[in-house]
């Protein structure tokens, strides 16, 4: 690639095609609503409503110094292509990936119109277009719509089949799959995709949200803070707008959304996002399916668990080093016998963050932080099958049980997002310490603040890892070039 290559210019070209297609589609829909004029078929055949396409041609010349990083790699010659949704939203990501490829490989990078059209539903929101009484079935007769045949995770799951004359996948997610998830994120979390940050915390208890909001507001009030705002369902708070913010957020719109998200925002989206995914592996899978298209740098699960060892105490921590996947949600695409490797950088960051936030030395931390296997179950009342459960837990040498962690980790493995889990023991059901109201309240007051701050500190540490955070453990044999 020539030294004059400019990745920003490439993204500018992608954005220009995307914006033109959106404008064309909006005008055509508005015209149809106004007087019933159907869109011009010949214009559609020339790509009037098409996603832009990013294409890379690689002849196979091996670089003198082959990159050792876990992304932006080309392992075999050929043409690689993908359609791109919302290029401006992904500008920094695309520029970073393209600069790596252009620097290290002799490639030709080009932009054009893809064969995929933008579904009309993604462009009419906030456009001023009033559909009125016209039904979706009627609009779908004349305009591109969400057809499930065009959506899927075959590339990520390694089951895609490309015809000999078709390009190889350039990225895990194409335009239609990305747009699908961006819309779902807004629906489930109550916040715009633009506000999601690259360092993500998932939790299974609303009390962590209260603590996160408090920490975020205190951070924004500091004059030396690198953070610029706090986005919550239905509102955005910036410096100078924080009076009574906690009360306003607590009384706000979060109850309308299944998995409300909170974003402590920073430049270049290097802040922290917290998503309250609620309880259960189904929610965990759902949110990861959609957050993954944003290509976060890392996601961590912090929440509560049942301790399975008699030596554990309420309030102790569990750092997951392995997972027993009894959630069953992903068995068809990622069989449960497939191991989920621990990511060393994440494990170290979670342990170091624990020592920093607790103020204890390593030996003291090790007395209350257990590393081992976490069971994730899809049965909230597993305790009612005590004999069968106890045998399985004993055979696996498990130290804790919850309903989300293995699902989050498996999704990180599927979508090549570094993952980790730090849980806090809230009860010990195998040993007669059940979660009771009075005991639970005391535990919450004592443990949540410290635990949440450990998660935030771990993400701060991981941000410093840079490209080293992305482990080659997560790469498949036939990996698309873009991370």
Residues whose CB falls within 8 Å of the CB of residue 124, separated by 6 or more in sequence, listed in order? 26, 29, 131
Tokens of 243: 């009076």
Q: How many residues does the chain have?
A: 483
DSSP state of 234: T
**What are the strands, taking DSSP E only, across 126-216?**
168-169, 199-203
Q: How far is CA 39 from CA 26, 127, 418, in A?
A: 11, 18, 44
Q: What is the pLDDT of residue 262?
A: 98
CB burial string 14-39: b at 16+ within 10 A, e below = bbebbebbbebbbebbbebbeeeeeb
Q: In angstroms, rounded to a whole number, what is the distance separating the alpha carbons of residues 28 and 25?
A: 5
Identify the pLDDT of residue 16: 98
Give the pLDDT of residue 438.
60
Tokens of 112: 């054009």
Task: Enter the DSSP assignment of 428.
Answer: B
Which DSSP state fits 203? Answer: E
The phi, psi pair for 350, rounded to 5°, reads: -65, -40
Q: What is the pLDDT of residue 391?
A: 84
pLDDT value, residue 324: 96
The confidence score (pLDDT) of residue 427 equals 80
**Each residue's pLDDT expressed in tens, for the chain with a length of 483 residues:** 556 789 999 999 999 999 999 999 999 999 999 889 999 999 999 999 999 999 999 998 888 677 888 898 998 999 999 999 999 999 999 999 999 999 999 999 999 999 999 999 999 887 878 877 788 888 999 999 988 877 899 999 988 887 778 899 999 999 999 999 999 999 999 999 999 999 999 999 889 999 999 999 999 999 889 999 999 999 999 977 888 888 889 888 888 899 999 999 999 999 999 999 999 999 999 999 999 999 999 999 999 999 999 898 888 999 999 999 999 999 999 999 999 999 999 999 999 999 999 999 999 999 999 999 999 999 888 878 877 778 888 889 999 999 999 999 999 999 999 999 999 998 887 666 666 666 556 666 678 899 999 999 999 999 999 888 888 888 888 899 999
């Amino acid at each position: 690639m020539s030294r004059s290559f400019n990745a920003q210019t490439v993204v500018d070209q992608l954005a220009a095609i995307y914006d033109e297609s959106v404008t064309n589609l909006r005008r055509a829909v508005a015209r149809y609503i106004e007087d019933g004029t159907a869109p011009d078929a010949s214009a559609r055949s020339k790509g009037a409503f098409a996603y832009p396409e990013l294409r890379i041609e690689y002849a196979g010349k091996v670089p003198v110094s082959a990159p050792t990083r876990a992304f932006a790699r080309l392992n075999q010659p050929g043409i690689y292509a993908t359609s791109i949704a919302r290029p401006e939203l992904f500008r920094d990501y695309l520029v970073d990936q393209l600069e790596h490829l252009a620097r290290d490989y002799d490639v030709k990078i080009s932009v054009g119109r893809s064969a995929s059209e933008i579904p009309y539903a993604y462009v009419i929101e906030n456009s001023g277009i009033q559909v009125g009484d016209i039904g979706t079935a009627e609009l779908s007769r004349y305009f591109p719509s969400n057809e499930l045949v065009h959506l899927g995770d075959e590339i990520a799951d390694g089951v895609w089949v490309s015809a000999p004359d078709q390009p190889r996948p350039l990225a895990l997610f194409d335009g239609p799959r990305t747009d699908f998830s961006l819309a779902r994120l807004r629906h489930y979390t109550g916040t715009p995709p633009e506000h999601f940050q690259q360092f993500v915390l998932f939790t299974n208890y609303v009390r962590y949200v209260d603590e996160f909001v408090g920490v975020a507001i205190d951070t924004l009030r500091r004059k030396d803070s690198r953070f610029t705002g706090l986005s919550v369902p239905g509102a955005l708070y910036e410096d100078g707008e924080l009076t009574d913010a906690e009360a306003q957020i607590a009384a706000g719109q979060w109850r309308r959304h299944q998995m409300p998200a909170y974003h402590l925002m920073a430049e270049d989206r290097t802040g922290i996002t917290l998503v309250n995914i609620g309880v259960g592996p189904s929610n965990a899978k759902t949110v990861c399916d959609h957050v993954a298209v944003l290509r976060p740098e890392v996601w961590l699960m912090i929440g509560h668990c049942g301790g399975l060892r008699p030596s554990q105490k309420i309030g102790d921590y569990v750092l997951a080093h392995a997972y027993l996947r009894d959630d069953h949600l992903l068995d068809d695409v990622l069989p449960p016998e497939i191991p989920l490797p621990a990511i060393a950088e994440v494990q170290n960051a979670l342990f170091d963050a624990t020592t920093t936030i607790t103020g204890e030395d390593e030996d003291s931390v090790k007395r209350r932080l257990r590393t081992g296997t976490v069971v994730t179950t899809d049965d909230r009342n597993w305790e009612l099958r005590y004999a069968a459960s106890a045998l399985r837990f004993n055979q696996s040498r498990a130290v804790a049980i919850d309903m989300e962690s293995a699902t989050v980790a498996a999704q990180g493995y599927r979508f090549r997002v570094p993952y980790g889990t730090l849980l806090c023991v809230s009860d010990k059901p195998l040993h007669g310490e059940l979660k009771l109201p009075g005991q639970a309240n005391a535990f919450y007051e004592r443990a949540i603040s410290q635990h949440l701050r450990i998660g935030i500190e771990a993400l701060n540490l991981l941000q410093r890892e840079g490209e080293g955070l992305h482990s080659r453990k997560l790469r498949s044999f036939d990996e698309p070039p873009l991370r």
